[in-house]
Amino acid sequence: MLRNKLDALSAQALSEISQASTSEALELVRISYLGKKGSLSEVLKGLGEVPAAERPAIGALANESKRKIESALENQKSLLEEKELSQKLSKEKIDPTLPARSLHRGSLHPVTQVTRKLLQVFGRLGFEVTTGPEVETEFLNFEAVNIPKDHPARDMQDTFFMGPGVVLRTHTSAVQMRVLRSQSWPVRILCPGAVYRCDQDATHLPMFHQVEGLWVDQGVKMSDLKGTLEFFAKEVFGPGTKIRLRPSYFPFVEPGAEVDVSCFQCANGTSSGSGKKTGSCRICKDTGWLEILGAGMVHPRLFELAGKNYELPNSLGKKVTGFAFGMGVERIAMLLHQIPDLRLMTAGDTRFLGQF
């Protein structure tokens, strides 16, 4: 009786196994026969009622049925897996011609870009790069460039003091004396770097960047300064750019000047700017000029402080003189890219920085 049941059951199982067309269906078949409450288990529960003499034979038969079912399951399983894999492969194609996902590339900060441009432009005129420390002596930052003790620039409100006699340099002019002391003429250096002032709003940062230039040689004249700056202006702001010098006062130069470049955006400037003739120019406010830097002829007092007696005519007859200039890098970057708020420069927002 039980023997027949077992035979029928295993025949039924094998047929269901061969008909299972997915792994999931096969698993259900497995559970329905071999699971704890599966048909085979149920049948085997009846083994107790079989006469003891027949039990070993029936037991062996039951094991045999179980083994057959298990091996059929195993076979069908690998068949189905193979089938499913090949179906998947034929459906899911890899298209090697699709564009790759683009990598996020970093970009150079506008301050870095402008600094590099300045170094390159002045480099073509023979200026070599020099650097100086950002933590500077009060002497080199002030006295050495002829800024006396009672000068308002020394006020605690403008200057970060690190300790007695030590400041964060407030301008790159602080390198002038270092260079004048350590080198004899000819000197033609450019010093880029960070400078610090106690100041912060939409147009001022407590830390910003300047580039300082110093040229000392025999017979250097104001016209050399002008020619040098004109070259720089055309290279940086466009070939049509003009410059103008307005007399101004800086303690370390005499005479001193503030230097403007013609607006490169609007027709009010004398450049071949692409802007319109009418309406207000957002860059120059219709003045046609942009203030860019300070400059002048090196004050004789600086040579004196450096211990150089350049005042006397040398053997070749021409006096050794010099000119200096200093400019703010952020300001130039803002003008060139029409950046509305200086604080964007330090915000580190890649959506802003990625545009340059």
What is the contact surface with ligand DAH in residues (CB under 6 A)? 171, 173, 212, 250, 253, 256, 294-296, 324-326
Name residue 243's beta-bridge partners.
261
38 in helix, strand or coil? Answer: coil
Cα–Cα distance, 77 to 66 (Å, whole number):
16
Q: How far is the CB of 295 from ligand DAH (least distance, A)?
A: 5
C-alpha to C-alpha distance for 191 and 290, rounded to whole angstroms? 23
Cβ closer to ligand DAH: 269 or 296? 296
Q: Angle at CA 343, nearest 5°, toward 338 and 345?
A: 65
Pair of tokens at residue 347 = 């915000």
The rounded Cα 312 to chain-centroid distance in angstroms is 51
- Paired sense of beta strands 128-129 and 187-196, if any: parallel
Give the separation between CA 256 and CA 323, rounded to whole angstroms: 10
Using the minimum distance from each CB to ligand DAH, give the nearer residue, 73 or 253.
253
Which CB sits closer to ligand DAH, 142 or 264?
Answer: 142
Q: Collapse the DSSP code of 201 into the 3-class scheme (helix H, G, I; strand E, B; otherwise coil) and give the result.
A: strand
Indicate the residue among 264 and 325 with the shorter CB distance to ligand DAH: 325
When the beta carbons of 76 and 173 are compared against ligand DAH, the nearer one is 173
Mark 186-215 as b/e (b = at least 16 C-beta within 10 Å): ebbbbbbbebbbeeeeeeebebbbbbbbbb
Of 314, 311, 332, 333, give the one whose Cα is nearest residue 322: 311
- Respond yes or no on whether the N-terminal peptide bond of residue 255 is cis (omega within 30° of 0): yes
User: Can you tell me the distance from the alpha carbon of 144 to that of 299, in angstroms, rounded to the nearest whole number?
Assistant: 11
Q: How far is the CB of 332 from ligand DAH (least distance, A)?
A: 13
Return the closest-CA partner of residue 228 out of 214, 207, 246. 214
